[in-house]
Chains A and B, each alone.
Chain A
Amino acid sequence: QKEVEQDPGPLSVPEGAIVSLNCTYSNSAFQYFMWYRQYSRKGPELLMYTYSSGNKEDGRFTAQVDKSSKYISLFIRDSQPSDSATYLCAMSEATDSWGKLQFGAGTQVVVTP
């Protein structure tokens, strides 16, 4: 069993819709939870990170962490075609720095005009 599970998609949504992404994990020691966006053949770009449980909002993006359920989510409101990319969740056990990151497989998102 993988430590981090993420549906690879693809997830296709019309422009303006809400994109809902999620990951589940098995390691209760994870403390930091991140979401990265990766365009084809490019390196990952950090979107948001959360420490421990809770919600965090940044513009059109909202990240949620439920440690009791070992479940994290990312919501993208008012989706745009430029949001079409692969979204990776990542997690870290470290408490003083991110250190080693454990990634999910990534979900491919396609936003159609």
Chain B
Amino acid sequence: GAVVSQHPSRVICKSGTSVKIECRSLDFQATTMFWYRQFPKQSLMLMATSNEGSKATYEQGVEKDKFLINHASLTLSTLTVTSAHPEDSSFYICSASDFSYEQYFGPGTRLTVT
């Protein structure tokens, strides 16, 4: 149980385009979803926290107009990287939490911006 999926697993896009990443909780209702970014050999850095039906809360230094987060249902959250640039290339990981303590992580999406 407690499976979180992400789609796509890997995406390559051209600079200036937008990319949408989906995060789904497959067998539970996620009241809260988290989006992290991980650069090579570095730790996970929290980008934002979203609660179903509410606006996301962004961490300091994360541009909310660039990283659009939508948590429209209890099983789906999306992260859209708008006007992507090469420096946005990274591994994006979501996690989901129900009413328990644990966060369940997705497998991650590797974004490469050329």
Contacts and interface: CB of A to CB of B under 8 A. Distances in A.
A100 B49 contact: yes
A10 B44 CA distance: 18
A45 B105 contact: yes
Contacts of B97: 97-98
Interface string A69-101: 000000000000000000010000000011111
The SS class assigned to the B binding surface is strand
Interface in A33-75: 36, 41-46, 49
A97 B93 contact: no
Task: Pick the most buried of A43, A49, A103, A106: most chain B CB atoms within 10 A of its CB.
Answer: A43
Instruction: Categorize the interface residue count of chain B.
Output: 20 to 34
Contact of B106 (A43, A98, A103): A43
Contacts of B44: 44, 88, 101, 103
Contacts of A105: 41-43
Instruction: Categorize the interface residue count of chain A.
Output: 20 to 34
Given A46-B102, A49-B102, A41 B43 contact: no
B41 A42 contact: no
A50 to B, nearest CB: 12
A40 B44 CA distance: 13
B102 A98 contact: yes
Contacts of B43: 4, 6, 88, 103-106
Interface of A: 4, 6, 8, 32, 36, 41-46, 49, 88, 97-101, 103-106
25 contacts: A8-B41, A32-B101, A41-B91, A42-B107, A43-B95, A43-B105, A43-B108, A44-B105, A46-B102, A49-B101, A88-B43, A88-B44, A97-B32, A97-B99, A98-B101, A98-B103, A100-B34, A100-B46, A100-B49, A101-B34, A101-B44, A103-B43, A103-B44, A105-B42, A105-B43
Q: Give the top 3 A-B pairs by smallest Cβ distance, nearest first.
A: A43-B105, A103-B43, A105-B43
Interface of B: 4, 6, 32, 34, 41-46, 49, 91, 93, 95, 97, 99-108, 110
